[in-house]
Chain A
């Protein structure tokens, strides 16, 4: 990775905003799916696909690629939008999400779309697979990184802690986990449903290096990945605090938008059904214009 100029950061912010627009249009077309998490993670996905990852969109199976595992598969609209924008498949294909004969399954399926590293959706399984990939890379003396994206809610699954224990045992410094810590799950806020705190202490106790960052600040996030790569003999977790629904005022920090797309139901405090997507896209357009004209 090269030094980031202000213009580089702004370009990535513009990409993230475009990804958010694609998420909204894709979800409307699909008629079901998740809004909150994908919008919140757009900055991190833009950072990965347009700056951090060593990858070749035209050759998704290239052996030297960094592996990006999405454990919380339900936020796949952000992955699909980002992959399309970076050239893995035509943007037009986003319209097929969740529809019959589509490569874009409602939860990602490795066998369906080149560029997906795993099949995911059932929570708490990605980190284990990342451990296997990291061990395999070590056996083969390969130097690519294994990035594993997880969520806070899925840390309520027991098996993810089995994986955390194993990564600590094997001192997998080629494994960098990024947790989307947005404090929402379907039924409510994490801190009410089943709190994870003290989260950072838990991972330290499992022999991980822990970094914390504002997950919606691209410069900060990329710097944290750079720092993670300098750490030896330990797996690294970047705790990315994000705003679910980021960019759409009436969705931000509201768990009720975890699992629904715009315009499916009336949500108090939001525009009425039928007006939600329009309002969301208008807000994102304004953000995009501001970024385009920023000094």
Chain B
């Protein structure tokens, strides 16, 4: 059942659960930060509407900079702000930032230790009809590899707002990953969130598998866990919003109890959450791991639901992967 101590959305499993995009939480979080801290500045590359920086722009026009369609320049202009006492957020689609401008971020933000947060939007296959050009599916991998870099993937709009505010209060480079479409609201304003922490969102009695999910895919992991419980297979679901740094203690504990793991993300299985957890558990306690995500392929145009189905990332795929992980554990 849902973890009662975390004050999650009690209506999550209802058919009419409230749905909102994570990018909306980014937008409201920026306005809150802007009110609290006059040193927060926001830059965009001609995408203020779709990446939700428009509310900040309206409220604080002097601290908003539209750099034009120029993501490389945006990153390094932000670096200039970030070493001058400002906390800068840059906002674009993740394929372009941190995609196109990767080396600008590496040198002038990350190695330079500038106080800049990179907000990557339209991540994952959820960008749907736009096609694979606009579906960022490698962004976790390319940001996670940097030293001195946090990587945060909020699971819903409420967590997105909390993550944005938390990011603004921590000095240094950080990547925040957001998605476009409305997704179920999983948490409430009372649900705890901290950079570097993971949380158990679902736990059946005597769980036999851990499902670790990040971003909006936490919702699919929860749906899978509920059905698995109905089928008599107890699991637990961890929200790993903080892909870097990992909550090593909590993850060690849950995988120590269940002895197998399923990772769930709307991202390539290489280098993302699955990669991060495989690296960690290879060092500490090798267990069977199944990876839900894009399997070394680009996706295509389609609705998000169609794409999850076709590319093996939806609820049914998670259920099947969990059964495989358990079977591998038992036949070891």
Contact = CB atoms under 8 A, between A and B. Distances in A.
Contacts of B68: 162, 165-166, 169
Contacts of B103: 122
B81 interface: yes
A136 B84 CA distance: 7
B76 interface: yes
Interface of A: 109-111, 117-122, 125, 128-137, 139-140, 158-159, 162-163, 165-166, 169
Given A125-B104, A165-B70, A166-B70, A110 B83 contact: yes
A197 B87 CA distance: 38
A158 B101 CA distance: 12
A128 B112 contact: no
Interface residues of B, number: 29
Contact of A139 (B62, B72, B107, B111): B62
A128 B83 contact: no
Contacts of A159: 70, 72-73, 76, 104
B108 A119 contact: yes
Contact of A162 (B70, B80, B82, B84): B70
Nearest to B148: A111
Given A132-B80, A137-B84, A165-B70, A125 B63 contact: no
Nearest to A133: B80
Contact of A128 (B41, B63, B80): B80
Interface in B27-57: 41
Contacts of A122: 103-104, 107
Interface of B: 41, 62-63, 65, 67-68, 70, 72-73, 75-86, 88, 103-104, 107-108, 111-113
Contacts of B63: 139
Contacts of B79: 118, 128-129, 132
Can you list the 9 inter-chain pairs with the closest CB atoms, starting with the nearest?
A132-B80, A128-B76, A162-B73, A136-B84, A162-B70, A159-B72, A129-B80, A132-B77, A133-B80
Nearest to B81: A132
Contacts of B107: 119-122, 125
B170 to A, nearest CB: 18
Contact of A111 (B81, B84, B86, B112): B112
Contacts of A133: 80-81, 83-84
Given A111-B113, A137-B84, A159-B70, 15 more contacts: A110-B112, A111-B112, A118-B108, A122-B103, A125-B104, A125-B107, A129-B76, A129-B79, A132-B78, A132-B88, A135-B80, A136-B41, A139-B63, A159-B72, A169-B68
Contact of A166 (B62, B67, B85, B88): B67
Contact of A136 (B80, B108, B113): B80
Contact of B84 (A119, A128, A132): A132
Given A135-B65, A139-B62, A128 B113 contact: no
B24 to A, nearest CB: 27
A294 to B, nearest CB: 41
A131 B80 CA distance: 7
Most buried by B among A130, A137, A159: A159
Nearest to A160: B73
B21 to A, nearest CB: 29
B181 to A, nearest CB: 31
B115 to A, nearest CB: 11
B48 to A, nearest CB: 16
A109 B76 contact: no
Given A119-B112, A120-B107, A125-B104, A166 B84 contact: no
A117 B114 CA distance: 11
20 contacts: A109-B111, A110-B113, A111-B112, A111-B113, A120-B107, A122-B104, A122-B107, A128-B72, A128-B73, A129-B77, A129-B80, A131-B77, A134-B80, A135-B80, A140-B84, A159-B70, A159-B76, A159-B104, A166-B68, A166-B70
Contacts of B75: 128
Contacts of B77: 128-129, 131-132, 135, 163, 166
A131 B41 CA distance: 14
A162 B104 CA distance: 13
B55 to A, nearest CB: 20
A230 B8 CA distance: 61
B104 A140 contact: no
Nearest to A137: B84
Nearest to A121: B107
Contact of B112 (A118, A136, A165, A166): A118
Contacts of B83: 110, 117-118, 129, 133
Contacts of B108: 118-119, 125, 128-129
Given A109-B111, A119-B112, A163 B62 contact: no
B6 to A, nearest CB: 38
Count chain A CB atoms within 10 A of each CB in B80, B107, B108 and give the residue with the most: B80
A120 B72 CA distance: 15
Contact of B86 (A130, A136, A169): A136
A118 B88 CA distance: 16
A110 B80 CA distance: 12
Nearest to B62: A139
A130 B75 CA distance: 12
